[in-house]
Structure formats: C-alpha cells, structure tokens
Structure 1
C-alpha cells in the first residue's frame, strides 16, 4: 500500500482527514472494490493519528455504504452501489442553508423528465400493463362521489413510482425517490388544493396524457408537459399545509 495515501496528518478534524485519505485512495484506484483496507493499527501508525480517529472514520464510511466490516476477516471496500450511499445527500439538502422552493422545483423537473425519457426507451409490455393499471386506479379514485385527496396523492405517487421502475436504473430511481421525498409537502399541498377546487380530474387527465406519451415513445414537448402537470399555479405556497382536511 502506497504511503502517500496514509501520510501523517497535521490538520484539525482528524477523523475527516482520515476519511478524505481513504476516499482519495479509492478514487485513485489504490483501493479497489472488494479490497481489504489496512488494519486499524496499521492506518494509525502510517497516518500518525490515534486509533480512535481511525475507528470513527471507518464507522462513517461503513454508514455511507463505502466500507463493510466482515468479522473476523477485517474491513473491505464495498462492491457495487448501495442505496444508503445517497442518504447523506438527502440530509445535506435538507439542512442546506440555501435550500429554496424554486431550487427544489427545478431539481424535480430535471430529474422527472430524465426518468420519463428512460421509461420511454426501456419499457416492456409488462411495464405497459403496470402503467395502465396505475392509471386505472387513478381513474377510480377521481370518479368517486366523495373524493379523498390523500387517496389521489397515493395513486399519483404510484404512477410516478411505476414510471421510475420502467427506466430499469436503480440509481436513477433512488435519486428520483430522494427528490420526491424532498418535495413531498409541496406535492401534498398541490393535490389537496386541486381536489378542494374540484380539479382532481384535471390532475388525472394530465397523467393520462403523460402515460400516452410514454407508451407512444413521443418525446415532443415532454418538458413542457411535465412542468405543466405540476399545477404550481394552483398552489398558494404561503399557506403550507394548515388548510388540509
């Protein structure tokens, strides 16, 4: 193992410096997926730091899904992508000081258009059946005498989860779910308001049109269609969720 990755650390935030050193070794290819990393004692000696700092750094990287501990063999670099790797990103966005509604709306639009295009490219006949089943559940929900706005929200969520699954890319699906988690309150408010002004069917029809586009693999005006389907003009963003029934 090359010493350049595990040289003595002189800066503060020792645990973070250890994390950075291990990360750099992985980025540069010195540590490959499946490789066993040096022992706690070896890392502590080569970096000139305490074993506690090494232990804490390893705990963080295990939590991130980058390292895994296999007892009694040792600690190894994980192979492949793990969903947990995106969790720190979620917390980072939630706690971001410059987070804004407009930024989240733009992020949602960018991701969802990409998800839809992947679905167009990769869907199978089974996927098509599943998508139409989601649309049928949406139709039933908006056809009831007394419409439950939360049920509408759930079938809306089902539709988008189905489209995401059709793209057959677990990484994209995870990022899409992350974005939908971040925008959940806005989506709840939109659906609630649409139902309260008797426009649940308008919401349904927008999804029918989107499903038609996907099945026809018609990319024309897809960006505009998705953006229009958010119905942000129906939402008073200053009210939050206090008017929910």
Structure 2
C-alpha cells in the first residue's frame, strides 16, 4: 500500500472510531504525523486528498477540521464524476433512477408533512400553461428534488440529486423531439402528486416508475435510431 494511502486510512480510522468527530480540529501537523508514524509530507498528501472529497476542511491560518460528513456534502464529489459520463452510458443512469425514484416517491407518500405536500403542489402549479423546454426541465428537477427530500432519507436524496445532471440532457432532448412530452410530463406529475397527497404509497411508486421508465424508453428508441 502506498504511504499516502496508509495515511488516509489512519485518518479515516480516527474518524470511524469516533476519536475525531464532525467539526473537530485535527491535532497540529507535527504532532499528528509523529503520533501516526508518518512523515509530514505523507500526512499533507493525505489531508489534501481527504479535503478534495469533502472529508476534511483545510482553513488557512486556522487549521484542518473534519467536515459535517453529511451525505450531501460527501456525495458532492460523485456529482462531479457523474457529470463526466459519456452519452452511451446515460441509459444506465436512467436504470438507476428507475430503481431509486419510485422507492423515494413511495417513502415520500408516507413521510411528507402536509406543508411539504403543499410545497409540492405549488411547484406543480407554478409551471406555465405553455412552458419553454427550459422551464419544463427546471420544474421537473424541482418537483423530483422536493419528493426526494420528502422521503426523509438524506442518503437516498443525495444519490437521486447526483443523478439529475447526467439525465438532464435527455430530458431536454425529449422535450424538443417527442410530441406531447410536455403534456405527458404534466399529467404524470399531477398523478404522482395526487397519490402522495392521498398517502397512497403503492400508487405513488407505480406512477413514478411509469414516469421515469417513459423517458428511459424514449431515449432507448432514440439511441437505436442514431
């Protein structure tokens, strides 16, 4: 194992064991290096690597701290990686969405508070009668983001939000090329909202599956024609 990897593992072990908690300041570099049996250069490289994935926060003139370690923060780097995907892998992202979003939607039907369901209704009704493609896609993203948040599971929410970027372009393509896509999106969003508002988890799951699978199916056909 590379020396830097070993240093990363030792810092991770301190966090996992609870010796370092979210928000804690790391000991001074010289003290920590001696304690872990590392060179200061190896320790610096490990700190740099962990700061890039939002585990550590290096504050110039103040010290190095463990971040909040919240799922959204840690999965932020995954969003960057996913944004580098190739177009020929976009179907795989939709396959993952088809697994995760219906589950989150069913959970939202059980977990969302009344005022959160009202927020969802406001998002749904804020879409203009004749929206542009950009307005439709932006509204679609807000709608699904609110449902993911309503699932009550921050890890699941973060994963779903990470998938928004790679599938965003496909949403735009569909809006531009498929006849009736705007109306279909509006109708399916309404059905999902009504199922959540009625606390019908299985119905909400079914409509979410239909909704995501519809875009996936369209994309699969479009790619076969290219």
* TM-score between the two structures when normalised by the length of structure 2: 0.79
Paired position in structure 1 for 2:177:
193
Q: Structure 1's 217 and 50: CA in aligned 2 closer, same or farther, altered over 3 A?
A: same
Give how far 1:73 is off: 6.0
Greater shift, 50-59 or 160-169, is seen at 160-169
- Spell out the pairing of 1:149-228 with structure 2 (5 A cutoff): 149-194=133-178, 197-228=179-210
1:59 is aligned to 2:44: no
CA contact (8 A) 1:149 1:191 kept: yes
Unpaired runs of 5+ in structure 2?
none
In 1, Cα distance between the equivalents of 2:30 and 2:194?
Answer: 60
**Does the CA contact (< 8 Å) of 1:64 and 1:88 recur in 2?**
yes
* 2-structure distance, mates of 1:59, 1:23: 13
- Structure whose CA Rg is larger: 1
Q: Which has the higher helix share?
A: 2
Q: Does 1:19 find its partner at 2:8?
A: yes
- Partner residue of 1:118? 107
Change in CA separation of 1:47 and 1:214 when aligned onto 2, cut-off 3 Å = same
Hey, what does 1:107 align to over in structure 2?
96
Q: Which residue of 204, 212, 223 maps to 1:238?
A: 223
- What's the RMSD between the two structures over aligned residues? 3.1
**How many Å separate the matches in 2 of 1:120 and 1:107?**
20
Number of residue pairs matched?
222
Q: Residues 130-168 of structure 1, C-alpha deviation per residue, up to 9 Å, x if partnerless?
A: 222222233x33xx3xx5222222222222223234335
Which residue in the other structure is 2:78 paired with?
A: 89
**Which residues of structure 1 form unaligned runs of 5+?**
1-10
* Distance (whole Å) between structure 2 residues aligned to residue 156 and residue 219 of structure 1: 20
Query: Does structure 2 conserve the Cα–Cα contact (< 8 Å) formed by 1:34 and 1:76?
Result: yes
Give the conservation status (yes or no) of the 8 Å contact 1:65–1:82.
no
Change (3 A) 1:25 1:203: same
Residues 150, 192 of structure 1: 8 Å contact kept: no
1:61 CA displacement? 1.9
Distance 1:28 1:62 in 2: 19
Distance 1:225 1:48 in 2: 56
Secondary structure in 2 matching 1:32: coil
Structure possessing the higher relative contact order (Cα contacts under 8 Å, 6 or more residues apart): 2
